[in-house]
Structure 1
Amino acid sequence: MVRMVTEREQEGRKGYAVGFEGLIEFLKALLPRNEVIGSALRDELTMYPDLALRELIANAVIHQDFTISGSGPMVEVFEDRGEITNTGVPLGDIDRLLDQAPRSRNEALAAFMRRIGVCEERGSGVDKVVFESELYQLPPPRWETSGSAARAILFAHKDFKDMDTADRLHAYYLHACLRYVSKHTGNPLFFWHDLRCDYCAKLAIWLARYEDFDDEQD
């Protein structure tokens, strides 16, 4: 993930409430679009789900650390990914964002953003990002920290055969977490097939083979 050349930069000058929708539209205009052919009609979808973008950007605004000066939420668009960065590391375990109780540094700001419809009910943002990424058949999103900042990453579509083992296992881990918080029971593999998604079915088959291979190594 190397940053070499900046082709375009746009600095926001409006308030969060007034400028949020404009930012989303600006990003959608920048992102490539994929053509999807249904039963009779053609449709175009942005590279990343609108809902996932909205939730991640809203989270960056709500959870930023205002005690750190000189920086604010930042959205970067690359050929193969989009990154949303904010000041302040997560208050909880970054690997448990899906199932841990939500915490916010800025409760008043969070309540206001929910009230005006920028983000949805408390604690559901990460769930929606993971679900929408699965629905769009994207590699699993990732969250990471860098110094005093947190970063969320959405990846562009990648064929299943081009995903490495780490990506495939991370996808299954996030899916299992999503099932847990959604109170689904039974074998998690079944839900992949329920989505009627070729990508998901391949992941389920691959995981079964991976587990068999791992057992043989033991």
Structure 2
Amino acid sequence: MKYCVALANEGGGYIVLGVTDKRPRQIVGSIAYSKAGELNGIKSRIVNELRFRVEVTELEHEKGRVLVFEVPTCPVGRALDYEGAYLMRVGEELRPMTPDMLKRIFAEDQQDWFSQPARCDASPDDVIALLDTQTYFELLKISYPTSRDAVLE
């Protein structure tokens, strides 16, 4: 469960059972969740405890059975926790997320200040007063319009 949370917080990934950790990777097979109903049981437990779905693929190979757990990324702007801890991987270990990692995730759904309107509900006269419309038309080498509506257009 902890590795699923850590992977989700880091953009998603895979947990593979039945393959060696060290390179060159070799298929060694896995008996994890091999009894009737155990694979469906772990899928259900993950959804119940973590509140997100992890896809599990079972592959049969001549050298043994391989399980691939596909962990999705966490929702935008939301870090996931397990038993109150926001987790990330550091090498082969799991550690609490650093404040900068949490801040980065929580800021994902925040609009960039540059994409937000500087002012809303401005009247036509406010727009002309706030913008240097004379310079705008001079830079475009266009004569200044004769009416307010033409300036706004």
Return the TM-score normalized by structure 1. 0.16
Which has more helix, going by share of residues?
1
Max Rg structure? 2
**Structure with more contact order per residue of length (Cα contacts < 8 Å, sep ≥ 6):** 2
Return the TM-score normalized by structure 2. 0.21
Which has more strand, going by share of residues?
2
